[in-house]
């Protein structure tokens, strides 16, 4: 059984940093592309960042570029999203997801097979 479990969310202030974690079981992260998505109330789920299964390619949304960094520890089978200079607009439920091997990093939610249950991030102004 595949499980992706996010952790690290919480309430922070504007300008703070936070790191989200995604612990995987039932799959080996080095064989899957990992993505982070977020969904704010009343909005569609949107791509934030992704890292190719090979670890050679990363992709970021425009809002994440320069502030967020995606990484993974294959020994721990855990992925991370380091978020700096947080803004109130970053408030959302953050999800990690795993996609089958592909040529690139899918930016659409349909490209991912497995999903975690999400962790809430709230950024106060």
- Taking only the tens place, the pLDDT of each residue in 84-123 is 999 999 999 999 999 998 779 999 999 999 999 999 999 9
Pairing of strands 119-124, 10-13: parallel
How many Cβ atoms from other residues are within 10 Å of residue 101's Cβ? 10
Query: Is the distance from CB of 21 to CB of 6 less than 8 angstroms?
Result: yes
Question: Which pLDDT score is estimated for 6?
Answer: 98
Pairing of strands 78-83, 68-73: antiparallel
Mean model confidence pLDDT for the chain: 96
How many Cβ atoms from other residues are within 10 Å of residue 54's Cβ? 10
Query: Is the distance from CB of 112 to CB of 35 less than 8 angstroms?
Result: yes
Q: What number is the average pLDDT over the span 44-69?
A: 97
- Taking only the tens place, the pLDDT of each residue in 10-29 is 999 999 999 999 999 999 98
């Amino acid at each position: 059984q595949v499980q992706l479990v996010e952790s690290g969310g919480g309430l922070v202030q504007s300008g703070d940093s936070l790191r989200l974690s995604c612990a995987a079981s039932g799959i080996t992260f080095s064989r899957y592309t990992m993505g982070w998505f977020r969904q704010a109330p009343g909005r569609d789920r949107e791509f934030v960042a992704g890292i190719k299964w090979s670890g050679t390619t990363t992709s970021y949304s425009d809002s994440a570029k320069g502030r967020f960094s995606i990484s993974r520890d294959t020994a721990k089978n855990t992925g991370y999203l380091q978020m700096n200079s947080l803004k109130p607009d970053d408030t959302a439920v953050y999800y990690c997801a795993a996609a089958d091997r592909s040529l690139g990093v899918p930016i659409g939610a349909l490209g991912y097979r497995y999903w975690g249950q999400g962790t809430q991030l709230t950024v106060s102004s």
